[in-house]
Amino acid sequence: MNLAAATNENLAEISNVLIYSAMAVYTLAFFAHIAEWIFGSRSKVGRTAAALTGSEAAPAAAPRIQVRGKQGGGTAVLDKPEIVTRSGPGVRDVPDGPGAAGGTVKGDLYGRIAISLTVLAFLVHVGGVLTRALSVQRVPWGNMYEFSTTFSMVVVGAYLGFLLAKKNVRWLGLPLVGTVLADLGLATTVLYTESDQLVPALDSYWLVIHVSTAIICGAVFYLGAVGTVLYLFRDFYEAKLARGGKPSAFATSVLERLPAAASLDKFAYRVNAAVFPLWTFTIIAGAIWAGDAWGRYWGWDPKEVWSFITWVAYACYLHARATAGWKGRKAAVLALVAFVCWLFNYYGVNIFVQGLHSYA
């Protein structure tokens, strides 16, 4: 028993070292993402500005494609059409920005370095979470510290998964790595808990089912929230240009590199809609677990109430997207309110509200 306890303690120490090491590499990735934004060229950004404002400075000519005809061996020259994001009636159709790197070799190099560092940090992060699990011989989300480290790991994993699927989401890198660092910093300082066994109420296979789905939902909701925030900034920017306004140099440099507002809105809606059924299952699984552990499926516990409030908020958002008068900014604000409900359900309820889930 003493040997086993010493082994578990060593594994817990290794886990702590790996988490801190992951934070160090995430910090390097954060600065690499900053370099990507700083050193990216403004040339393509300027062309986007011209397209949005309708100024005389037309965008650079689109690539031309030669198509050889079947008769006479002649060729026809066709203009390659510019790709824009098509939106609903009354919504601006503008091209996506060139990305944080601005379409240049130097900016792209820093971006690739940032992604490589993020992958390395993610692998170290996974090692830290797994060794924590080995030290307690259970799934590593039995308290807020473990939930936070696992949650941030899944967030990064989801982001890298989108990149692996060749989705245009590298613009998420800077805010994502920054918030992951903040989450890990909070976990290792305020929320840190020594390795220990579960309280009896948590010692159930439902811990694996219910909490794992909650972590996945939170990670995807987070990506949707970042997309929504950036959508609001980009939408205000495009609206100002459409009115003939002149944004600041900083806004021009940053916002014109992002995807179009319609693209950001579509991204946020799709990820939120895709994970909403899983959040519904999470609440149902929690109710079943409560029935097994406490003999009732619903007891108005603060965690239960705020989980349901979060569900209602996201349901309202998805319904608003299907209602013409609530599309765009109004629906985006609803999405942010829903994500704030999710955050409060995790941090606020667990820290400031007494209930049956206070042990977490």
Tens digit of pLDDT at every position of the chain (360 positions): 566 666 778 888 999 999 999 999 999 999 999 999 998 865 454 445 445 544 433 333 333 334 344 444 444 444 434 444 444 444 567 888 888 888 888 899 999 999 999 999 999 999 999 999 999 888 898 888 999 999 999 999 999 999 999 998 999 999 999 999 999 999 999 989 887 777 766 778 888 999 999 999 999 999 999 999 999 999 999 999 888 888 888 888 888 899 999 999 999 999 999 999 999 999 999 999 888 877 888 888 888 899 999 999 999 999 988 876 777 898 999 999 999 999 999 888 888 777 666 555
pTM of the model: 0.83
Beta bridge partners of 67: 76
Cα–Cα distance between 277 and 158 in angstroms, integer?
Answer: 17
Residue 142 token pair: 């039995």
Burial annotation 36-55 (CB, 10 A radius, 16+ → b, else e): bbebbbbebbbbbbebbeee
Rounded Cα gap, residues 268 and 338, in angstroms? 13
